[in-house]
Amino acid sequence: MAPQPMFIAVMGPPKSGKTNFIDQLTGTKGKRAAHQVESHTQGIMEFTVNLSNDQQYVFAEIPGFNDPCRLDWEILRTSAEWLIRSPTHRRENRYRTNVKLNGIIYTHCIADNWMSGPVCKNLELFSRLCGDKAAGGVRLVTTMWDQVTHKELAEMRVWQLENNFWRPLIEEGARHERFEENSSSCAWGIIKSLTGEGEALLLQEELVDARRRLSETIVGRALYGQCQKLSPMVSSPCAASTSNRPLFSRSSRYPDFAFFTQRLNSAITLDRLGLAPYDYVIFVVGPTGAGKTWFTRQLLENISKWDFSQNQS
The β-bridge partners of 10 are: 61, 105
Residue 275 has pLDDT above 70, yes or no: no
Cβ count near 27 (within 10 Å): 11
Mean pLDDT over 262-286 rounds to 63
Cβ count near 92 (within 10 Å): 14
Decide: residue 3, CB within 10 A, 0-12 exposed, 13-18 middle, 19+ buried.
exposed
Residue 78 has pLDDT above 70, yes or no: yes
Name the residue type at position 237.
P
Name the residue type at position 170.
I
Please give the Cα distance from 141 to 129 (Å, whole number).
18
Mean pLDDT over 110-133 rounds to 90
Mean pLDDT of the chain: 78
**By C-alpha distance, which of 177, 137, 173, 174 is closest to 158?**
177
Kindly report, residue by residue over 254-273, the tens digit of the pLDDT.
444 555 555 555 555 555 55
Residue 124's pLDDT band, with cuts at 50, 70 and 90, is very high
Residue 123's pLDDT band, with cuts at 50, 70 and 90, is very high
46-57 burial, b at 16+ Cβ within 10 Å, e below that, comes to bbebeeeeeeeb
Q: What is the pLDDT of residue 281?
A: 73
Residue 158's pLDDT band, with cuts at 50, 70 and 90, is very high
Kindly report, residue by residue over 84-102, the tens digit of the pLDDT.
875 444 444 555 455 678 8
